[in-house]
Amino acid sequence: MSWPAQHISISINRTPDKVYAYVANPENLPQWAAGLSGTIRRAGERWIADSPMGEVAIKFAPHNAFGVLDHDVTLPNGETVHNPMRVVRNDTESEVIFTLFHRPGMTQQDIQSDAAQVFEDLLKLKMILEERE
């Protein structure tokens, strides 16, 4: 059985290569992802980050030429959340798309809150990337 999904996207006035390079670098996460606004450090193939919930482990998709920025986040309670994310060409710019799954047990308020946070993170990402250069 599949979960309902919500796709949240934003256009960024930068090429997909530039957006991908910035987002694919885990060391940049605390600058634009509020849920990971603390420190981040490498631990083997995973990254450990401070979050409002406590320490979380993040594993990213391998670098690729297709704009795939998927990442799995293992929460302090051991649950792993898969986060599909892509950067795609949108004419001369980029579209960043994040898929938010409505997991079992999430209330409508949880879903709305998560969606709003993802959109705020994408706005922050847009601001950072469009101010560069």
Predicted confidence (pLDDT) at residue 132 exceeds the cutoff of 80? no
Residue 29 near residue 36 (C-beta atoms within 8 A): yes
Tell me the H-state helices in the chain: 16-23, 29-32, 108-131
pLDDT of residue 37: 66
Q: What ranges make up the beta strands (E) of the chain?
A: 5-12, 40-43, 46-51, 54-60, 71-74, 80-83, 85-90, 93-101
Element housing 92 (H / E): none
Mean pLDDT check: name the lowest of 48-52, 68-72, 91-95, 126-130. 48-52
> Which is more confident, 4 or 48?
48
pLDDT of residue 133: 64
Mean pLDDT rounded to a whole number for the chain? 92
Predicted confidence (pLDDT) at residue 67 exceeds the cutoff of 70? yes
Predicted confidence (pLDDT) at residue 81 exceeds the cutoff of 80? yes
For each of the domains in the chain, give its residue range(s) and CATH number, in order of start. Answer: 5-131 (3.30.530.20)
Say how far apart CA 10 and CA 24 lie, in whole Å.
17
Say how far apart CA 19 and CA 45 lie, in whole Å.
22
